[in-house]
A and B are shown apart, each in its own frame.
Chain A
């Protein structure tokens, strides 16, 4: 059969060829739950942390910071225990990243207190002279937009209380981002 004379058959064959690897390595594992751990130990995000995570995404922090610790000796010596499937199980989207212009942040919340993050985000070079991270002082001046917070919690299917939402009043974007960073490394119940 000359598929190079029959474009419709050619397109069907090419599509099927493309679908084999697509289904076997990506979508079938997805539907059979191969990469889906038990959520029993996962602590859901609070509304403030969700908003902080969205600021992390908006500012493209993932372009320079990963959030996954590899099971290699030099890596665990620097960043702590290897990342587990559970720790990012409810993350939509994932933020594992692909480039470490700055250090990995998977456990950054367990290393520094909130106050450190406020200082560092405001002026990274006041703490590390050679740092090339942009300064994010302006996040302090921006009131957190909470118009969609509850809708976000619904879409993401995270449980929350009225007090959680109440806690957002008067918060800045900086407060939200720091709340998110402090959570990193504390995704699971002990």
Chain B
């Protein structure tokens, strides 16, 4: 009997497949809303208008794709790194079913326009309670498995997993406290500037704990496994971890620069945003250091391509983000397309590449097989890389153009482009390019799904003992 048979992978498999399914849905909605921005006739019915679908897109890729990918990978990692069986396999199965029910209800409610309006926090209060229950169920398994681990030392991936468990719970609950009016409607208990401040404390730390600590947990595990080289510096990962989870929580108000929120809160957020470069780059340096003497694997090892490009985009993201927090640059690019360009470098470049590496590594191992096609994995890599670069670069250029046109003043202080439509019409070619980038990315993702599907399909049927 191989040691693998002692682990419980049922929920791991279910969450991995759920993640890919909702990922496809989320990306398709993304392509549709990208088309709608150029062709308003694609707003078919009230249920399919841009204003309702944009939250559906963000919620589907965050809570439908990224979160269940983490459930799958984290349930795998806590077992492997603890050398022990999942603490509560039955609970994990229940989490899986409840999760998929919740996502279906979430999608329906967003179609119907039930929204709290706060970004990434749109779901109404009954679903928020569902999310909280799911998170508790998930956390019990993670913490329970770590408690009964047989490996005394917790590897750095487990730290990031625990930070994700705690952090998501705090910010999600903190931002969603509201007073219900009916089953489908509630009002935030916070008002005005305070509501905005709480929202972006949540918003930026959803980035911290879903798009940063979550993929970092995967990154720190997969990188040494894929390269077969030891982690460059354990000390650096300790310093990086604690300074990251300390500093992130101070930075939310950089989303509120030049709003009526008191200036000192904005300034503190800007300062901490700049500081965040250090702990972020601790992981980048750890990644590149581990690659020292192994760089030829960038040619020969498809897992290394995903993980190294992923950490490279993380590095660029964590330089670009802080620079956006600086007042002068914020004045130019805030509210423009630059911001979705930035977000998609992080989500498509860093998060999805890292999750892809994680699933490519894990799926063949839990099914006792090899990946179906390395060729297809390489094709997947190039398509998502090209699609994402087209998306981000196009949006950065367009964002600067928008910002520059909004800013343009005559010598006498009057607006050069006084009619907003003069600044909107030039978006269209850029937005069409974005759709093209999105479709290429989607094609790459479908290659990924197919490759995973065939890997599972061609796996040997397990023998019952």
Contacts and interface: CB of A to CB of B under 8 A. Distances in A.
Given A26-B197, A73-B409, A92-B187, 14 more contacts: A5-B153, A7-B147, A10-B154, A21-B248, A22-B174, A60-B115, A75-B406, A85-B193, A93-B118, A96-B256, A130-B425, A147-B182, A148-B181, A151-B181
Interface residues of A, number: 80
Contact of B170 (A18, A20, A78): A18
B14 to A, nearest CB: 26
Given A18-B167, A92-B187, A132-B38, A74 B409 contact: yes
Closest 4 CB pairs of A and B: A60-B51, A21-B249, A70-B258, A21-B250
B159 A10 contact: yes
B249 A35 contact: no
Interface string B346-370: 0000000000000000000000000
B81 to A, nearest CB: 11
A176 to B, nearest CB: 14
Interface of B: 36-40, 43, 46, 49-52, 54-55, 113-119, 143, 146-147, 152-154, 159, 162-163, 165-167, 170, 174, 179, 181-182, 185, 187-199, 201, 242, 245-253, 255-256, 258-262, 265, 268-269, 272, 331, 335-336, 339-340, 406-409, 413-415, 418, 420-421, 424-425
B249 A25 contact: yes
Contact of B335 (A19, A87, A100): A100
B198 A30 contact: yes
A93 B250 contact: no
A124 B339 CA distance: 26
A131 B162 contact: no
B195 A94 contact: yes
Contacts of A84: 260
14 contacts: A4-B154, A8-B147, A21-B247, A25-B252, A25-B253, A29-B265, A35-B194, A36-B192, A68-B260, A74-B406, A99-B335, A99-B339, A125-B40, A148-B181
Contact of A22 (B146, B165, B170): B170
A11 B166 contact: yes
Contacts of A17: 242, 245-246
A17 B159 CA distance: 13
Contacts of A61: 51
Contact of B331 (A5, A70, A98): A70
